């Protein structure tokens, strides 16, 4: 693998040198240029000169070079190969690594405010006194209540050691509190773990970043102390990440032998293997159409090596391997350099992995036939129309409307509106306003996500049987 990385780096270096030499070559005569460089490169030199001379605005060599590299990558017609500007490349690396400079809060838009959902344990935010439920209103003295979530995140993030002033509203008295917080490197934890009881533990891996193995080991240590015999490993909607992390995770469950084979362009095969003993845990692995790349490497190893049982739906089918290369001021690229096969030699690209036990979820949208909700329209007793009907349909979905939706805001609709308002802890006015719409959407979301996870239930049942058989043996 290192050999191929070096080859890739050397090739790109040659290309860059060629392009960076364009301006110098342009100083020579056309005839000399024709004699020294291939026709294709000479054409690019001419095109650069043409653009710089004739384009109505000034254009820099750097911008033209970046555009040329972007065009080359796009010409590959590969959905997984990308060109990044310097800013985009920095954001990409931050995202896949799981480490960034910040204060350690998870935020979301709620009730028209950017609200702190959770505070990472041991983070600067926790040390400063910021708490879940706090509503952000100021950053560095500037009001941010009208800014989108992405802009607020950009303002909170920053280099380690730099300071940021956070202003929040806390509690029903809308007390304004201000905190001076020193940014630090925040390590996101992609592992969610809990003991379900009856000797069964649950681990969800959301992605394979630099912190995956470290946090997995912590979870497994707690499981050992808690008497866990079987594990549900949830890889649903895991888009992948670092190859080495996926291999290390696989080594925790797959006994000595192959995990994945990386096949390069020239046919060279590099195998990654486990050197571990047989896992002490029975294992059921949840997968679906959102399980891709590195999560498929893990799932494929577990299935082929019979280290566990796969439950759920066919995986995404991304069997390609990418590597990144920094180009300095030119940005960076992500390039597909190989494909991989499972231990049995199966290429799963565009086909995915079929689980041992197929359990399909209900993919229907319960609201798909509802009238669109106009959240800007205030409604009250006596109103008639489609806007009323839209509200009634949703109240019926929540089992609050004791009659069929008819588009008439009558006594029963008013009673249902008040019931939802009481549930949400807001004034029971019986009027449909912005607070009601927010409460309505929250209630619908909670109902949808609270519906029984049939895939998880099946995985637990499978584990119970596996544990029972292992004890009998």
Backbone angles phi, psi at 333, to 5 degrees: -135, 155
Rounded CA separation 355/299 (Å): 9
- The tokens for 85 are 């500007």
Looking at the DSSP bridge assignments, the partners of residue 334 are: 82, 324
Cβ neighbours of residue 234 under 8 Å, at least 6 residues apart?
A: 202, 203, 204, 205, 285, 286, 456
SS3 at position 149: helix
Rounded CA separation 241/207 (Å): 6
Nearest to 23 by CA among 72, 62, 54: 62
SS3 at position 148: coil
Catalytic residue numbers read 293, 318, 322
**Helical axes 61-74 vs 39-54, angle rounded to 10°:** 130
- Whether residue 327 contacts residue 16, with contact meaning beta carbons closer than 8 Å, is answered with yes
CA dist 50 → 54, 64, 65, 312 (Å): 6, 12, 14, 57
Q: Is the dihedral of CA 284, 461, 227, 468 positive or negative?
A: negative
Q: What is the DSSP letter of 430?
A: S
By the 10 Å C-beta count (0-12 exposed, 13-18 middle, 19+ buried), 286 is classed as buried
* Residue for token pair 């992948």: 240
Q: Where are the beta strands (DSSP E) in 305-464?
A: 309-312, 320-326, 332-341, 357-358
SS3 at position 319: coil
Nearest to 201 by CA among 183, 170, 226: 226
Q: Where are the beta strands (DSSP E) in 207-331?
A: 230-234, 257-264, 269-274, 282-287, 309-312, 320-326
- Degrees (nearest 5) of the Cα angle 180, 186, 187? 160
């Amino acid at each position: 693998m290192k050999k191929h990385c070096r080859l890739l780096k050397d090739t790109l270096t040659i290309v860059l040198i060629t392009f960076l030499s364009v301006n110098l070559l342009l100083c020579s005569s056309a005839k000399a240029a024709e004699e020294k460089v291939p026709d294709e490169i000479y054409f690019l030199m001419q095109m650069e000169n043409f653009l710089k001379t004739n384009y109505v605005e000034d254009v820099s060599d750097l911008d033209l070079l970046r555009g040329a590299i972007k065009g080359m990558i796009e010409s590959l017609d590969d959905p997984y190969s990308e060109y990044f500007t310097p800013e985009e490349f920095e954001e990409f690396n931050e995202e896949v690594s799981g480490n960034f400079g910040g204060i350690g809060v998870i935020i979301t838009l709620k009730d028209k405010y950017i609200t702190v959902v959770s505070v990472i344990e041991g983070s600067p935010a926790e040390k400063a006194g910021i708490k879940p439920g706090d509503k952000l209103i100021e950053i560095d003295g500037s009001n941010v209540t009208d800014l989108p979530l992405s802009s607020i995140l950009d303002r909170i993030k920053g280099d380690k050691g730099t300071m940021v002033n956070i202003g929040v509203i806390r509690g029903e008295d809308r007390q304004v509190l201000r905190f001076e917080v020193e940014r630090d490197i925040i390590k996101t934890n992609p592992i969610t773990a809990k003991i379900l009881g009856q000797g069964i533990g649950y681990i969800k891996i959301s992605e394979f970043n630099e912190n995956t193995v470290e946090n997995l080991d912590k979870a497994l240590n707690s499981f050992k102390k808690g008497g866990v015999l079987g594990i549900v490993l949830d890889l649903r909607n895991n888009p992948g990440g670092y190859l080495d992390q996926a291999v290390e995770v696989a080594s925790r469950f797959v006994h000595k032998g192959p995990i994945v084979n990386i096949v390069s362009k020239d046919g060279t095969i590099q195998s990654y293997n486990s050197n571990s003993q047989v896992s002490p845990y029975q294992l059921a692995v949840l997968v679906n159409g959102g399980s891709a790349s590195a999560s498929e490497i893990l799932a494929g190893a577990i299935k082929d090596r019979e280290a566990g049982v796969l439950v759920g739906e066919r995986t995404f089918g991304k069997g390609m391997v990418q590597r990144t290369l920094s180009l300095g001021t030119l940005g960076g690229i992500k390039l597909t350099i190989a494909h991989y096969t499972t231990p049995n030699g199966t290429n799963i690209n565009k086909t995915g992995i079929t689980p041992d036990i197929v359990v399909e979820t209900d993919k229907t949208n319960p609201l798909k036939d509802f009238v669109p909700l106009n959240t800007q329209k205030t409604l009250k007793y006596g109103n008639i129309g489609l806007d009323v009907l839209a509200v009634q349909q949703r109240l019926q979905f929540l089992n609050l409307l004791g009659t069929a939706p008819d588009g008439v805001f009558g006594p029963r609709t008013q009673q249902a509106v008040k019931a939802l308002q009481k549930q949400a802890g807001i004034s029971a006015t019986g009027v449909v306003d912005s607070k009601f719409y927010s409460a309505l959407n929250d209630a619908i979301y909670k109902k949808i996500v609270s519906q029984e996870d049939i895939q998880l239930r099946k995985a637990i049942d499978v584990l119970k049987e596996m544990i029972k058989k292992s004890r009998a043996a």
